[in-house]
Structure 1
Amino acid sequence: MRRALLTLVPLIAVLFVSAREPSKSAPATATSPAARDRGVYHLAADAEARWIAFDLTPGNQIRFKMQLDGRDVTAILDTGVSYTLLAKASSAVDPAKLVAGGSATAIGGSVALGWMPTRSVALGGLARTGGGVTVADLPAIATGSASAVDLLVGADMLAGHALDIDYAAKRFRLLRSGRLPFKGESAPLRVSAERSVYESALTLGGRRLAPIVVDTGDGSSITVTAAGWQAADLKALRTTSAIAFGLAGPAVSGLAIVPEIRVGEMIAREAEVRIEPAGGFSQAIGTAGRIGSGFLQNYRVLLDPGARRMVLSRGPKADLPPPRSTSGLLIGIEKDRLKVLHVMRGGPAAASGWKDGDLICTIDGTPVTSGYSTSPIASWTAGMPGRVVTLGLCDGTIRKLELTHFY
């Protein structure tokens, strides 16, 4: 979600991909990513000066440009992905080099993987020669926008160095591990041997929850398991429902605003928390939840697993309360229309008969355009309670929706 005038867009997440051994039916040439050539990495002497500009997708992911085999590609910075992943539909895929086999655990289930060797990969001051990338379907909905990206840059590329993300200035850079370019509040950080992703811990309702995946590719804020939520004993808080999208499809979770969360030395007030159902994704991979980019974007962030620390420096939005939906609709952008992806439990939209899949073409008479996500009209989903919004469906039907607080 974004703050200020932007709408509550769906918290769409491209989440942890755990590479598994190939299935018995995979070709004999297929091997697990962990057993493949990892390539040779080089960090330039002037890497600190090589900032990489990015924009935040409507789903809150860090999107930027880099080079793969000398070709410019669009990428998402994703510390919740074990192995850098190339979209099967990308023009950077060379079918002659693609090896099928293996699978990944993702939100919604399991996805098939391939692998492709690469000559070179470069982002900012970091370059790799040799190695390869996993290959899988990567739909546009994974970024909450109409256009798909080519690449998810995972922990295999990033974890050997410190990652300095300046969300306020919309730039990041890679540094030598051990560097401390700014002051802030620290929390533990490691790359787990079991999952090969960034992990930390948090305290919710006085209960320490660990391990927590630190996932820059997850557009949501904080996610915890059903067991973690129960242990935190916050049942007095009102909850609703929300939806996220991973590589294997959608997943519905609970949603609440909690008074306080602690991440190491840092205390965050009024934080948004998603509650996965029992048997959900985090439980399935053996973790207690995730810290996503929807939370991290309130800070300047240093992720340095080599020094075993995450450092958070409060940005201008760190102490602002998170926006709350007052419409009860989570929507996706489809060029000149909005698609209802989820009708939130207990909200005004649910009470007035809205359904998943409804298509909206006008808001108070203003047509939806491709620039909707940065337009002032996008604020309506989290508008002032009591406001009545006139929504024009794409079939010509006109509906009125009164906004209200409901969680």
Structure 2
Amino acid sequence: MLLPLLLAAAAPPLPEPRAAWAGSSALAPDAEARWVDFDLTPGNQIRFRMTLDGRDVTAVLDTGVSYSVLAKRYASANRLTVRAEGQATVIGGSVDVGRVDTATLALGGLTRRGGSLAVAELPAAATGSATPVDLLVGRDLTAAYALDIDYAARRFRLLRSGRAPFAGLSAPLAIAPDRLVYVSEVALGRARLRPMVVDTGDGSSITLGAESWATVGAAARAVPTTTTVSYGLAGAVVSELAIVPRLQVGRVAARDVELRVEPAGGFSDTIGVAGRIGSGFLQRYRVLLDPGAGHMLLRALPGGTAVTRSTSGLLLGLASDRLKVLHVMRGGPAAAAGWRVGDTICAVDGAAVGPGYASQPVAGWATGMPGRAVRLTLCDGAGERVLVLRRFY
């Protein structure tokens, strides 16, 4: 299975008066008709095109960052003046942050004039793609409006707050006054967990901090677990992974939900939140995020509740003509067979791995039917291994 990766989430507000960063934003009268088409990155994030000072840029929609972030690489290539602003806390640690002034940003029916963007390293690994994005579009650009995300049609749009373009079940939604990101809550077991960052830039489903997981009760925690790895802007984090049979988000009762639990003292514990609701969960639904109206609306999509489980125990990254093992999941068949981080695979059942591998049917082997025997050819003449798939969590 190609690895869903985590992007930066819930960076603290930067040390600058808000007005100096915000600029002046306005929606066009026909904003409702201005859908923005997107695709999902290999890391499960919403990727689209927009314009920055008249230039076309690639962006990711990331409601888990307080201020939109421009790639340092892009700023350097376009000789933009960047002022140092200190550091921000992100998944995996902290990163250096700068600031660059902008003239205009255009996104669907939204135009912002003036204001600033944060500047930081945006590695390609954070989206699971070979090509990095130029920009993370965060809370500062979207929170004044309703954000309508149509995952089924792969498009989104910005609407005036208070609009409800479809019927759905509601959950509370606000902008946290301290961290300035979208927040809601989750009920699991005996615990009501809040604040939960609603983070479209997080490719996983539900993530909890260790402190929050300890409050949910023994019955809710009595599920098989394994391990997984995620990549934020500051590096890799190994977490526990489970499928919980039921949890509640507002009026929405969700079943068979993938849940990650960060290590003690991890990102959520550090920034003082219960956890995150990521794109892996949200894409089960058509989603309206409207913090101005105090709610998000979720309308279930047909077939949106299916959970993909690894049956191989290998989490893989695609590097041109090979798959690289990024993590071997605890208790899985790959761990039992002696696979190691860094092993590389050049063919699956005799089919060579190439640049278009991720979109081909063969790419689903790592989550295939239990009992299937898969022939994996190692690179550099290291021979072939047979891995028998099974369910283990």
Q: What is the TM-score with the length of structure 1 in the denominator?
A: 0.93
Once the two structures are TM-superposed, the CA of residue 20 in structure 1 deviates from its matched residue by: 5.5
Letter in 2 for 1:390: R
205-214 vs 40-49, which moves further: 205-214
Change (3 A) 1:110 1:35: farther
Letter in 1 for 2:336: A
Once the two structures are TM-superposed, the CA of residue 17 in structure 1 deviates from its matched residue by: 4.5
Letter in 2 for 1:313: R
Q: Is the CA contact (8 Å cut-off) linking 2:13 and 2:179 kept in structure 1?
A: no
Q: Deviations over 1:110-162 (max 9, x none)?
A: 10011100010000000000001111111101111111110000000010100
Q: Is the CA contact (8 Å cut-off) linking 1:71 and 1:92 kept in structure 2?
A: no
Once the two structures are TM-superposed, the CA of residue 312 in structure 1 deviates from its matched residue by: 0.2
Matched, 1:376 2:369: no
Matched, 1:217 2:201: yes
C-alpha distance in 2 between matches for 1:326 and 1:282: 28
C-alpha distance in 1 between matches for 2:28 and 2:203: 30
Q: Is the CA contact (8 Å cut-off) linking 2:312 and 2:388 kept in structure 1?
A: yes
Once the two structures are TM-superposed, the CA of residue 93 in structure 1 deviates from its matched residue by: 5.5
Matched, 1:328 2:321: no
C-alpha distance in 1 between matches for 2:252 and 2:321: 41
C-alpha distance in 2 between matches for 1:44 and 1:246: 34
Once the two structures are TM-superposed, the CA of residue 336 in structure 1 deviates from its matched residue by: 1.6
**Residue 24 of structure 1: aligned partner:** none
- Give structure 1 stretches of 5+ with no counterpart: 1-7, 22-30
Once the two structures are TM-superposed, the CA of residue 371 in structure 1 deviates from its matched residue by: 1.3
C-alpha distance in 2 between matches for 1:96 and 1:236: 53
**Residue 358 of structure 1: aligned partner:** 343
The structure 2 residue matched to 1:251, chosen from 237, 247, 253, is 237
**Residue 155 of structure 1: aligned partner:** 139
C-alpha distance in 2 between matches for 1:316 and 1:15: 30
C-alpha distance in 1 between matches for 2:210 and 2:250: 22
Once the two structures are TM-superposed, the CA of residue 16 in structure 1 deviates from its matched residue by: 1.4
**Residue 208 of structure 1: aligned partner:** 192
**Residue 123 of structure 1: aligned partner:** 107
Letter in 2 for 1:241: T
Matched, 1:40 2:33: no
C-alpha distance in 1 between matches for 2:145 and 2:225: 39
The structure 1 residue matched to 2:11, chosen from 13, 18, 22, is 18
Q: What is the TM-score with the length of structure 2 in the denominator?
A: 0.97
Q: Is the CA contact (8 Å cut-off) linking 1:113 and 1:135 kept in structure 2?
A: yes
C-alpha distance in 2 between matches for 1:271 and 1:184: 19
Q: Is the CA contact (8 Å cut-off) linking 2:80 and 2:100 kept in structure 1?
A: no
Once the two structures are TM-superposed, the CA of residue 33 in structure 1 deviates from its matched residue by: 6.7
Letter in 1 for 2:50: M
The structure 2 residue matched to 1:101, chosen from 71, 75, 85, is 85
Once the two structures are TM-superposed, the CA of residue 205 in structure 1 deviates from its matched residue by: 1.4
The structure 1 residue matched to 2:178, chosen from 183, 188, 194, is 194
Q: Deviations over 1:210-245 (max 9, x none)?
A: 000000000000001222222222332110000110
Query: 3-state DSSP class of the match of 1:89?
Result: helix
Q: Is the CA contact (8 Å cut-off) linking 1:33 and 1:134 kept in structure 2?
A: no
**What is the RMSD of the two structures over their aligned residues, measured on CA atoms?**
1.4
Q: Is the CA contact (8 Å cut-off) linking 1:68 and 1:92 kept in structure 2?
A: no
- Give structure 2 stretches of 5+ with no counterpart: none
Query: 3-state DSSP class of the match of 1:80?
Result: coil
